[in-house]
Amino acid sequence: MTLNPQEYEAILPKARALVNKVVQRNMADAMLFSAGTDTQIIAYEAVKYKPAIPCLTMHFKHGNPADTEYVKKMVAFLKLNHETHIFGREEVLGNAPKVVEALKKFDPMEIRNSMPVYIGLTILKEKGLKSVFTGDALDELFGYPWQFHLSEAEFAKRQ
């Protein structure tokens, strides 16, 4: 479904209010924070209710994350209580069996995507934090950038 500008303007405040209500009702002890729009939206709402919410960013030391500068900008803008955990191949290999067990499947893409989340959740659990916002699912709600240019028919084919 493609929205025209008027429809978009009409629905945006409702979507924002809904996200705000969900965050408020499900306030977590901490947050895994990335430069993704999903976690930025959740963090923006969360700090309204819990200004000092602990936020953890995962950084693979053998990678070249393009979003590091965006994380820094958003941390400063939102005044987040933030830290970064840098992890390497050893930590990935040590946790791989646990991630496969948690996922209950061996899908290389899912394992790769879930690894930093698993490590981050483990770190936050060790700190005594019991619930964590991850930002997962907002992309599914608001869409991915690669989807925005697709017609409804093209979008349906790719689902």
Domain that holds residue 63: 5-87+130-158
pLDDT of residue 141: 65
What is the reported pTM?
0.83
Find the radius of gyration of the CA atoms of the chain. Answer: 17
- The answer to the question of residue 80 being in a domain is yes
3 compared with 53, residue with greater pLDDT: 53
Query: What is the rounded CA–CA span in Å between residue 41 and residue 85?
Result: 21
- The answer to the question of residue 144 being in a domain is yes
Between helices 108-126 and 89-103, what is the axis angle to 10°?
Answer: 100
Give 138's contacts (C-beta < 8 A, 6+ positions apart).
Answer: 19, 37, 38, 41, 42
Torsion sign (Cα): 72, 16, 148, 59: positive
- Amino acid identity, position 109: M
- The answer to the question of residue 115 being in a domain is no
**What is the average per-residue pLDDT within 140-151?**
67
pLDDT at 14 over 70: yes
Burial of 13 (0-12, 13-18, 19+ CB in 10 A): exposed
**What is the average per-residue pLDDT within 48-66?**
92
Query: What is the rounded CA–CA span in Å between residue 149 and residue 155?
Result: 9
pLDDT of residue 127: 98
pLDDT of residue 28: 98
User: What does the pLDDT look like over 35-51, one tens digit per residue?
Assistant: 788 899 999 999 999 99
CATH number of 31's domain: 3.40.50
Asked if 47 contacts 78 with a C-beta cutoff of 8 angstroms, the reply is yes
pLDDT of residue 146: 64
- The answer to the question of residue 38 being in a domain is yes
- The answer to the question of residue 114 being in a domain is no
Comparing C-alpha atoms, which of 15, 11, 27 is closest to residue 129? 27
User: What does the pLDDT look like over 17-39, one tens digit per residue?
Assistant: 999 999 999 999 999 998 788 89
- The answer to the question of residue 46 being in a domain is yes
Task: Tell me how many domains the chain contains.
Answer: 1
Asked if 42 contacts 20 with a C-beta cutoff of 8 angstroms, the reply is no
pLDDT of residue 153: 82
